[in-house]
A = this chain, B = another copy of it.
Amino acid sequence: MIISFTEENYIKAIYSLASKSATQDVSTNEISNYFNNKAASVTDMLIRLADKKLINYQKYKGVTLSAKGQKLAIKIVRKHRLWEVFLLEKLNFKWDEVHDIAEQLEHIHSDELIDRLDKFLGEPKFDPHGDPIPNSNGQINSIKAKPLVTFTKKGNYILMGVCEHSKEFLQHLTLIGLKIGDVIKVEDINSFDNLYKVKINNKHTLFFSSKVASNILVESKK
């Protein structure tokens, strides 16, 4: 069965929206917001995806991925994240540059290619943004890290990933001298405006806005 570029993007979007939202079902409007297209176009595509048994679709009730759709979504995510690692590690792109190119590369069809790429890269477990890379069986390590805002205690944390993936946000983090693996020592949390006073790698001190604190994923350091 041939699955188009566009269909793959819908499947990936449904996967991503489902994982982010509380409810299981993804609505037509959520999808059209995601793509900045019209709800009517989405309905059109949902019917096609349902015909191909990639989703479970009931009029007016939203959609879930079928087992087949789930498998496909994870495969695309695996490809996307492995290509991002390739671009960063081998071609020396920056972490804010890899996503757009990976959006194209994730649609290359070849199981052999992706498994060889995986080996070539040393079977990495995380992509440049800290997101876990599914293995070839489709298993993903769920991520334990949580947004820094959810922690209210002073102490040492390690930057494990980001929630927000935009170029702007990633460039901002780079600008303030923050990268994955850095040790973030929370020295103070202002009770009025929730500003975090932190020290990075025991070197430079700075302040995290709540925008930053809510979009970086950390684990507390043992």
Residues on A facing B (Cβ under 8 Å): 87, 90-93, 97, 100-101, 104-105, 108-110, 112-113, 116-117, 120
Once the chains are docked, how many angstroms separate the CA of A87 from the CA of B104? 18
Identity of the chain B residue whose Cβ is nearest the Cβ of A87 in the assembled complex: B113
Once the chains are docked, how many angstroms separate the CA of A113 from the CA of B108? 16
Task: Tell me which residues across on chain B come within 8 A of A113, comparing CB atoms.
Answer: 87, 91, 101
Once the chains are docked, how many angstroms separate the CA of A93 from the CA of B100? 26
Once the chains are docked, how many angstroms separate the CA of A120 from the CA of B120? 14
Task: Tell me which residues across on chain B come within 8 A of A93, comparing CB atoms.
Answer: 112, 116
Task: Tell me which residues across on chain B come within 8 A of A87, comparing CB atoms.
Answer: 113
Is the beta-carbon distance between B104 and A116 smaller than 8 angstroms?
no
Number of copies: 2
Is the beta-carbon distance between B116 and A110 smaller than 8 angstroms?
no
Is the beta-carbon distance between B91 and A116 smaller than 8 angstroms?
yes
Q: Give the 6 A-B CB pairs with smallest separation, nearest first.
A: A91-B116, A104-B108, A101-B110, A101-B113, A91-B120, A90-B120
Once the chains are docked, how many angstroms separate the CA of A110 from the CA of B101? 7
Cβ distance A39 to chain B, nearest Cβ, rounded Å: 25
Can you give 19 contacting A-B residue pairs, CB < 8 Å?
A87-B113, A90-B120, A91-B113, A91-B116, A91-B117, A91-B120, A92-B116, A93-B112, A93-B116, A97-B112, A100-B110, A101-B108, A101-B110, A101-B113, A104-B108, A104-B109, A104-B110, A105-B105, A105-B108
Once the chains are docked, how many angstroms separate the CA of A76 from the CA of B112? 23
Identity of the chain B residue whose Cβ is nearest the Cβ of A116 in the assembled complex: B91
Once the chains are docked, how many angstroms separate the CA of A166 from the CA of B222? 58
Identity of the chain B residue whose Cβ is nearest the Cβ of A5 in the assembled complex: B5
